[in-house]
Chain A
Amino acid sequence: MTFGRKVAKNRYLLLMMMPGAIYLLINNYFPMFGTVIAFKSVNYSVGILRSPWVGFDNFKFLFRTSDAWTITRNTLLYNALFIVVTPIIAVTFAILLNEVRNRLAARFYQSIMFLPYFLSAVVVGYLGYSLLSTEFGFINTNLLKPLGADAIAWYSEPKYWPFILPIVYIWKNIGYSTVIYLAAVIGIDNEYYEAALMDGASKWRQAISITLPQIRPIIIILGLMAVGHILNADFGLFYQVPLDAGALYPTTNVIDTYVYRALLTLGDIGMSSAAGLYQSAVGFVLVLTVNLVVRKFSKESALF
């Protein structure tokens, strides 16, 4: 079939694809020309193309200090944890929600779980503060004090934050993932479950042997996409929730917050572009690698 006939045959499908493709082109592809900024010392008065090239100078600040290790470690570990824990919890909730026979109740639970996702990180930061504040926080005044324990200065003790941040992240984002997995679970053909029921399979067995294999492609695709963003930390979570407390940086500083703080006064778009490019390049390589691995084991689940 010639190219022209292919187009003619699929014209409606292509038409439907247009808005999305145009959106991607304008928002994601055209701006890629801007990557040159990462290698330039930008001077607006001569325009970006005429600004002098500086090679990799703009990238240096990312690797210059001992912070480079801290922020890379924090970003990778937190994101790896999120990538692993999110599907486990979300799939569990999706299966449970699917079993709730009262549709009204199921909707209610679902909405309650979804709600935090729509809260701005600033609001979440202050919700956290109302729990953790040293003097007035709920945990210190209503839990630790009656138990006779000393108040904890949450905002100056870095050691608690590797637990606090994942809890907040899961609480805030789990509703969103659950909805996606729930849609996949609902889409599974009921005949599988009926057959399983005939064979006397328990709910647990059904979940393990039917539901999980059926939604595996979704889990893998979402996982792959998350891996592509492994160096991009959730800025709101890591900046607002610890209230930007300096004492907590050893466990809360990630690449995004470091870049923001370091360039706040300089406002140098060359250096911030460099940081963005670095994150994207690493993400790109990781997606390719992980996809390659997935293809080795299960060809039909791979992205490409």
Chain B
Amino acid sequence: MRSIGRKGLAAWTAAFAVTVMLTGCSGKSGGNDSNAGNAGAGSPSAADSGGSPSASASGSASASAGDSGASDASKLAPYKITWYVPGAAAQKDQALVNEEVSKYLKDKINASFDLEVIDWGSWDDKMNLKFASSEPFDLMYTANWNGFAAKISQGNIIDISDLIDKYAPDAKEVIDPRLLEGSMVNGKHYSLPVNKEIASQWGVLLRKDLVDKYQIDISAIKTPEDLEPIFDTIKQNEPGVTPFYLNKDISILNIYNTNTFAHFDGGAGTLMKGTTDYKLVNAYDTPEIKGGYNLMHKWYQKGYINKDAATLQDLSGGLKAGKAFAYPEQLKPGKDAEVSTATGQQWVQVELTPPIIGTGDTQGSMVAISRTSKDPARAMMFLNLLYTDKYLVNLIAFGIEGKHYVKVDDNTIDFPPGVTAQTSGYNLNQAWLFGNQFNDYLWKNEDPQKWEKFKDFNSKAQMDPLLGFVFDPTNVKTEVAAITSAGKEFSSGLGSGTLDPEVYLPKYIDKLKAAGIDKVIAEEQKQVDAWRQTQQQ
């Protein structure tokens, strides 16, 4: 059984590689030399090489509909829109919901609908296989941290700038301009961002019962250091509760580095505070970097941090069991309520950084059109509806009214009697995957002001100096691979305070240098300079 998954995968990838070669050739022989992004020309020829008669019919039909600029449903040939998103698990009633959406779309754009949820664990593998085997589908979730740049450079998702203007002008109106701009790459749109909160803010969540018990004044907590006396109290008086609970991926460094640098990237270039010339530096060459690590190590030695932090994978088990007093978290308005529902403990949130809009936020949840889509135009018509049609987005996000939710009032929903989050046949709980969140219903336990607070949060946010810039690692792949590996070796140990920064930070720095971080930064600098040129135009 050992590593059969990986070996099996390698075998499949290689087997599919043969298929790709064949399809790659046939695509060429179909005369499809144009960038698939020019979908007006791209979709019919893509359909030709697909070979099935119905597919080519729909391709040309929609292209002609596109030419007339109208989306008269009766003129469009029937088409099935397939959409892949990641999630906790496939939903039992997915087929019912898809059928309901199909019924609704029939009159609008004469399309049927197939949403498929792929579990997070196999999401990357499955999507890579779909691309490797050129499986036809239309839409997929993508994000800055989920290979967005790689998918563009490998040609797996297409340039949709023209399609947006042609088929989704209403959606374009709705989306926050900063979000839309921040999701662009090289001046082109490869995706539509989900309209939601656009900034990230870091802070800590504290257990409400203990905050009340020790009468902690959370408004006095301004910096990570302010937490120290509080942790001390918890350590003294609450045996069995870890004052600051961490796993291998999460640390106070997010807070510390956000406040210390104008733009922080441990694996590439960092911008110092107050930069005007956009000169990228290696953050690990600066004296500032030590502060965060030293603080963590001090806390670890004082016993504030759980001993297994450097190897712990899952945080939620400890949170649910009441073993934690505080932990760092990415915050947005109402995050504490969200976590309280998820963990069964009551939490309060303390913001420790300003909200900042970075490329990671504007590209945090997007939908892109696959190279293998047989009718990108129709997919875009669907997206236009998704961003503007309140009924549609809520149907996809929350399921069928009366079966998966009931309305408490106009904009508030609850589970139907006898149904819970666990027994519901459609409880994806990831409304941030779909279109325009400001059109979403709110659950009964959510703040009725949530969307107003989101808008307020968005408007207050500061911009990261590199907002909109995406680093393309193609020319320095070898170095990036080595840096990633070095990061894996040291970041958990140093970030959780388990390792002594006096000893291990110099080792980490040496390893980053040997891995070629200076070369990566030089390459990034080149790209940043080029990017700034296009920005100033």
Contact = CB atoms under 8 A, between A and B. Distances in A.
Contacts of B3: 121, 234-236, 256
Given A47-B20, A120-B1, A271 B489 contact: no
Contacts of A155: 308, 310-311
Contact of B492 (A47, A135, A245, A263): A245
A175 B423 CA distance: 42
A64 B519 CA distance: 13
A55 to B, nearest CB: 13
A45 B155 contact: yes
Contacts of A31: 11, 14-15, 17-18
Interface string B399-423: 0000000000000000000000000
B438 interface: no
A243 interface: yes
Interface string A39-50: 001111111111
B498 A156 contact: yes
B484 interface: yes
Nearest to B306: A135
Contact of B489 (A30, A60, A246): A246
Contact of A261 (B24, B473, B488): B488
A156 to B, nearest CB: 6
Nearest to B483: A262
B27 interface: yes
Chain A, interface SS category: helix
A27 to B, nearest CB: 6
A49 B28 CA distance: 11
A42 B489 contact: no
Interface string A205-245: 00000000000000000000000000000111100000111
A258 interface: yes
B310 A49 contact: no
Contacts of B27: 47
B266 interface: no
A45 B154 contact: yes
Contact of A44 (B20, B248, B474, B511): B20
B481 A271 contact: yes
B25 A49 contact: yes
Contact of B484 (A42, A44, A247, A264): A264
B478 interface: yes
Contacts of B396: none
Given A48-B17, A247-B499, A266 B10 contact: no
A118 interface: yes
Nearest to A27: B11
Interface string A249-274: 10001001010111111111101110
B482 A134 contact: no
A266 B15 CA distance: 21
Contacts of B278: none
A262 B310 CA distance: 19
Contacts of A247: 310, 489, 493, 498-499
Contact of B481 (A33, A43, A61, A237): A61
Contacts of A269: 13, 17, 128, 132
Interface string A10-36: 000000000000000011001111100
Nearest to A258: B485
B307 interface: yes
A277 B480 CA distance: 21
Q: A30, A31, A49, A276 — which one has the most chain B CB atoms within 10 A of its CB?
A: A31
Contacts of A273: 14
A79 to B, nearest CB: 13
Contacts of A202: none
Nearest to A50: B24
A237 B2 CA distance: 8
Most buried by B among A34, A42, A235: A34
B124 A267 contact: yes
Contacts of B532: none
**B interface SS class:** helix
A47 B23 contact: yes
A134 to B, nearest CB: 5
B479 interface: yes
Interface in A119-167: 119-121, 129, 133-135, 153, 155-156
Contacts of A265: 147, 480, 484
A165 B248 CA distance: 22
A44 B131 contact: yes
B488 A65 contact: no
A93 to B, nearest CB: 20
A246 B308 contact: no
A117 interface: yes
Contacts of B480: 265-266
A66 interface: yes
Contacts of B307: 134-135, 153
A4 B499 CA distance: 72
A237 B15 CA distance: 26
Contacts of B124: 267
B477 A61 contact: yes
Nearest to B313: A243
A262 B154 contact: no
Contacts of A117: 1
Contact of B479 (A33, A64, A245): A64
Interface string B490-519: 111100001100000000000100111000
A142 B131 CA distance: 52
B349 interface: no
Contact of B150 (A45, A234, A253, A266): A266
B155 A246 contact: no
B24 A47 contact: yes
B371 interface: yes
B2 A44 contact: no
B371 A262 contact: no
B511 A66 contact: yes
B371 A47 contact: no
Interface of A: 26-27, 30-34, 37, 41-50, 57, 60-61, 64-67, 117-121, 129, 133-135, 153, 155-156, 173, 234-237, 243-247, 249, 253, 256, 258, 260-269, 271-273, 276
24 contacts: A31-B15, A33-B18, A34-B15, A44-B156, A47-B25, A48-B20, A49-B24, A64-B481, A64-B516, A65-B511, A67-B485, A67-B486, A134-B307, A135-B306, A155-B310, A253-B489, A262-B485, A263-B481, A265-B484, A267-B124, A267-B147, A267-B150, A269-B13, A269-B128
* Pairs of residues from A and B, 7 with the lowest C-beta to C-beta distance, nearest first: A47-B24, A45-B155, A31-B14, A34-B14, A262-B481, A34-B17, A235-B3
Given A44-B131, A260-B6, 20 more contacts: A27-B11, A31-B15, A37-B17, A43-B153, A44-B155, A45-B154, A48-B21, A50-B25, A57-B478, A64-B482, A117-B1, A134-B308, A243-B313, A249-B489, A258-B485, A261-B485, A262-B482, A262-B485, A265-B480, A272-B10
